Chain A
Amino acid sequence: MPLSTTASQKIDKAIAKYPAGRQQSAVMAALTIVQEERGWLSPEALREVADYLEMSPVAVYEVASFYSMYHLKPVGRYVLTLCTNLPCALQGAGEAGRYLQETLKIGWNETTQDNMFTLLQGECMGACQEAPVLLANHQRMCCKITPPQIDTLLAQLRVEAAQEERHG
């Protein structure tokens, strides 16, 4: 599957941020763009990014495997990353983590059977005044997350998924 037009347009915009011949600098942006579109980064996706940026596939793999927010294996439709580092732990991340696992009936690093949610433990997201902090699909930050808010979020994401399905 070649890169979509939308993805390549976005990657071109990222490449333009760097001096001529330094397109490798856009690799993090490119991987983020492709992952956003496909959910995860398959070996084939890494090769496409490598070809596009004129990098060796292993150089792209090195980057994709180094940064924790890239997924090299399939994940659920929504990746929920809860920060459990010390400031969040002091402000209720333990309870939020237990509630997420009970509600979703999965452990850390697992995906629900319907492939809707993957649950991860994260490290500091730099928003500890609003701890505990949860990131949905790495972009949507949910602050001061408590069991009732987790219920609301999960319901909301399910509705969004259903709407996206309907609109193809």
Chain B
Amino acid sequence: MSAFLDFGSDAVLLAGLTGDNWRLKDYVARGGYESLKKILSERIAPEQILAEIKLSVLRGRGGAGFPTGMKWGFMPRGAPEKYVICNADEGEPGTFKDRDILRFNPHAVIEGMVIAAYVMGCARGYNYIHGEIWEVYERCEEAVDEARAAGFIGSRILGSDFSFELFNHHGFGAYICGEETALLESIEGKKGQSRYKPPFPANVGLYGKPTTVNNVETFACVPLIVKNGGQWFLELGRPNAGGTKIFSVSGDVERPGNYELRMGAPFAKLLEMAGGVRDGRKLKAVIPGGSSSPVVPGAVMMETDLDYDSIAKAGSMMGSGAVIVMDETRCMVRCLARLSEFYHDESCGQCTPCREGTGWLSRMMHRIEHGEGRPGDIEALDRIAHDIMGRTICAMGDAAAMPVRSFIKHFRDEFEYHIEHRRCQVADYV
């Protein structure tokens, strides 16, 4: 048997995984599908499971951090056609946890989805998988086939009167489809442009029917909560954020990778697990929650714990848990220029402030980076970013604006130097 992959000693979601033991028989050997069996054999009432989920204070792991139990509670009772959707369109730069969950432990997500469907009374579900991780999509196809053959999905699951069908749907290169309403449009066979909310998907979702969309990691937590109880899960974390969290660490560290820690663990511990800053250099800055979250100076981050409130206090957000580390040799102008290019590239074009604003930001950043910045550019960047925020249908506008404002706030001197001296202040090895 191959060695366990090391995701840290706090790991519960990623514990016992070797990279090869993803199949149904392996998952069952680890105690998988026991939660579902228990629910169906003991006919546990959906309300009772929902109460445990609420007690656990499981919050959405895709980025918004919305309480999962509350979200499930929004689904209307009794509607004949309802959907449960897994958002595996993981494209937020720096985020790569869902890929590992799905390729190493796909059945945990399937079991979580089946339980969610049971609680909310959904007969059909889809797992929307990022198009770029094609091999993971193929693995999920195999895993769903295995689960269907074993009677964990399909008609009259495990002999009960509960039926649920589950299918995988792949994306094909659109960051915006990670936004839940754009994702629904995409499943309907349209371009992925976000819908106005309200109505929320719980009322008008896929094909106009009540729908709940949760992240991969969120679903993976569900069987564990059912098995060990909401209180157990809550106590793994902080009072208003239960459980563990998988952090994807990338950038200037010795060992980029996924590390699972209890909510509220110190950032310094995570950095240590990732082997520290590469080549013994000094930590300059950290983007703690995916490229859309505001950048935080390294010194501040070293004093910060990894939970929603602590990261908010440090001026940023937990987001997807994607931690991008930048060392002292990195040019912040260059880093932001690349992120701005990304948002311009990915803007779906529906809302003018985002469509035009991301283009302005990207072109101005390009200009400043290449020594062609003009006086007043920094103020213009900040103003454009400010004017995008809160003026678009979906959160992508804010996602494009937040990095800009925070990079300027914390590293203004580098931007000023670039404009004044027409070159970079720091030696750069990118």
Contact = CB atoms under 8 A, between A and B. Distances in A.
Given A128-B248, A131-B256, A62 B133 contact: no
Given A62-B191, A86-B93, A90-B330, A139 B256 contact: no
Contact of B250 (A28, A53, A122, A128): A128
Interface stretch (A1-9, A19-27, A145-153, A160-168): A19-27
A90 B173 contact: no
Contact of A126 (B99, B167, B174): B99
9 contacts: A17-B126, A29-B169, A65-B191, A67-B131, A69-B132, A90-B250, A129-B257, A139-B134, A139-B135
Contacts of B133: 125-127, 141
Contact of A128 (B93, B134, B167, B430): B93
Nearest to A144: B256
Interface string B111-130: 00000000000001010001
Interface residues of B, number: 57
Contacts of B308: none
B189 interface: yes
B69 interface: no
Given A19-B207, A86-B324, A126 B170 contact: no
A87 B175 CA distance: 16
B93 A69 contact: no
A87 B135 CA distance: 21
Interface string B341-355: 010011010000000
A129 B430 CA distance: 17
Interface residues of A, number: 46
Interface in A64-117: 65-70, 84-87, 89-91, 94
B98 A28 contact: no
B345 A25 contact: no
Contact of B335 (A24, A84, A86, A91): A86
B124 A19 contact: yes
A27 B135 CA distance: 20
Contacts of A68: 172-174
A141 B134 contact: yes
B365 to A, nearest CB: 13
A55 interface: yes
A69 B173 contact: yes
A138 interface: yes
Nearest to B91: A124
Interface string B140-177: 00000000000000000000000000011111111100
Contacts of B348: 66
B189 A63 contact: yes
B252 interface: yes
A157 interface: no
A130 B248 CA distance: 11
Contacts of B90: 126
A32 interface: yes
B187 A127 contact: no
Chain A CB within 10 Å — which of B168, B191, B250, B257 has the most? B250
Contacts of B189: 22, 24-28, 53, 55, 59, 63
Nearest to B428: A94
Contacts of B168: 17
Return the 6 tightest CB-CB contacts between A and B, nearest first: A24-B189, A68-B173, A66-B191, A69-B173, A128-B250, A87-B250
Given A28-B172, A85-B338, 20 more contacts: A27-B189, A67-B174, A86-B251, A86-B335, A87-B324, A90-B324, A90-B430, A91-B251, A124-B93, A124-B95, A124-B342, A126-B98, A126-B133, A128-B93, A128-B250, A129-B248, A129-B256, A129-B257, A138-B134, A141-B133
